[in-house]
Amino acid sequence: MSVRGAVGLVMLVLTLFCLFMMLFLGHLDLSRPRIALLNDVLAGIQPSQRGTQRTFPVQQTVSQETVLPDTRTVSTRRTVYPNETMADMESVARSIEYEEEPINKEDRLLAIKQRWEYYAGNDYGEEGGQFGNQSGLSGDPARRLTVVVFAQMRTGSSFTGQLLNQNPSFWYMFEPLWHLNHAQNFVYKPIPVVNGRATVRLTNVAYSRPPESTYSKVLGGILRCDFGQLMKFIGRKELFGARGSKALLRFCDEVLHYPPIRCPWVLKPQTLPKVVNYCKRTPNMAVKTIRIQDMTSLEYLLGDPTLDLKIVHLVRDPRAAITSRLSLKGPRHRPKLPFPPQILNERDINKLCDWIKKNTVTTDVPSPWRGRYTLVRYEDLAEHPELMTKKLYDFLGVPLDDAVLSWVRENTKGDGKPHDQFSTKHHDANATAKIWRYRLSFPAVAKVQEMCRDAMKIVGYKEVDSSEALRDLETSLVDKIPDNVIAIRP
């Protein structure tokens, strides 16, 4: 046989071997439990030992002093929940993908019975979730607290939303209405390129804003955990603010058993029912949005018997908000500091200030939002973060979790590192709230004050009459909120 023939034969054998391995590996069930089992075998752990470690713990008595095990760590594949009945036990073993050692049925029955008695009145549903149906400030399980952080662009809404996201009793969603704004902003257009192949180029198209009624309708569905209107966007990794949503990360861990890195990509039609089920069993719902312009478009939700809707109306000094928007421009397009008046967008300024005037609720005029609304100034949050956070939770009627205060302390005192303009972390929250006084020129400030004088007066912001007064940070431009405004005050 020639050398060329021998080489050809070797290549054929290698090819056949590779095909065989691909077919073989394709039929392996490398699910998470089996991988764990293989890892234990490699580590020298016997299956019988592993099965003993994974059996359900049994509590002989249940008292106030008894600390039950964390339900999330009872099993690597399935959690035992209090709503399971004794009749459900026959199907429990079939739902577990592997068991190296038979688990004593009486022990498991006792464990479920004890959890059921310990968490009396809770309804966990059939999939994941560490909470029962315990929402509703009056104790009525049919009513569920829903919070809307109602804000405008660059008013500190991301920071405020985190005050709810960090609380494990909230299902928090970051800008779910963003996709309605941007669904048609891009089109895919095939174009020829080198090598004779066609690729897809992302091309900008004209901006089109849906009507206000569309936003309010979709938001109403989201507050009820109805994500049907968002189905067309399934597949976008930021559909539910996946990277930063604590609730979604819990869902991925407890229900799908996915690591955080995979969580942004699990929102698919086949998993959406589980997302909805988990969302409905989380006690409270919160949404942060800057898309809705008129709060009255949400009034129809006040009559929903299943929702206890509350609005947190977040405002910021218009001069600071406009300056922050100008700072978003890239270095090549950003004008030199301080920003001159000719670059101000009068349409944006009017829109922002009209939004403040139109949506601020006062005691002077009857409003259906009495008891459901409060105004919060970003400057107050920045200067008194812990105090304002506690008062915010008092308004919501929700216990303040220690995780929230820990996050506040870590993200308002500064860490000495730079952050991007969309970050919720600041070197010093109070200093960040005042930095606009160096970035905006006095003529520009005077122009904003002239256009927003009424709005600034309503929520308590002082005007300045000179460049020297503008730069003097010892003089506060944040006045007392008028008594007739329904607001949280420091």
pLDDT tens string 64-109: 333 333 433 333 334 444 444 444 433 433 333 333 334 454 554 4
Question: Do 180 and 275 fall into the same domain?
Answer: yes
In a domain, 207, yes or no: yes
Question: Do 193 and 77 fall into the same domain?
Answer: no
Full domain range(s) for residue 423 = 144-471
pLDDT, position 270: 84
Question: Do 107 and 175 fall into the same domain?
Answer: no
In a domain, 487, yes or no: no
Regions in the chain scoring below 50 on pLDDT: 26-43, 45-103, 105, 108-109, 111-141, 183-192, 194, 199-206, 416-424, 426-427
pLDDT, position 129: 38
Question: Do 289 and 418 fall into the same domain?
Answer: yes
pLDDT, position 440: 94
Report strand pairing: 284-289 vs 144-150. Answer: parallel
Give φ, ψ of 315 to 5 degrees. Answer: -125, 160
Question: Do 349 and 441 fall into the same domain?
Answer: yes
Question: Do 109 and 155 fall into the same domain?
Answer: no
pLDDT, position 377: 97
Question: Do 112 and 158 fall into the same domain?
Answer: no
pLDDT, position 134: 38
pLDDT, position 4: 73
Question: Do 345 and 258 fall into the same domain?
Answer: yes
* Rounded-to-integer distance, Cα 240 and Cα 276, Å: 12
pLDDT, position 337: 86
pLDDT, position 140: 44
Name the β-bridge partners of 133: none
pLDDT, position 245: 87
In a domain, 128, yes or no: no
In a domain, 9, yes or no: no
Q: Indicate which CATH number applies to the domain containing 208.
A: 3.40.50
pLDDT, position 379: 96
Question: Do 339 and 379 fall into the same domain?
Answer: yes
In a domain, 241, yes or no: yes
* Rounded-to-integer distance, Cα 125 and Cα 129, Å: 8
Q: Which two tokens stand for residue 214?
A: 């569309």
Residue 143 contacts by C-beta under 8 Å, 6 or more apart in sequence?
Answer: 135, 136, 137, 305, 306, 307, 308
Name the β-bridge partners of 315: 377
Question: Do 111 and 188 fall into the same domain?
Answer: no
pLDDT in tens, 175-189: 888 777 654 444 444
Question: Do 341 and 295 fall into the same domain?
Answer: yes
* Rounded-to-integer distance, Cα 107 and Cα 418, Å: 54
In a domain, 10, yes or no: no
In a domain, 16, yes or no: no
Question: Do 163 and 111 fall into the same domain?
Answer: no
In a domain, 22, yes or no: no
pLDDT, position 7: 75
Total count of domains within the chain: 2
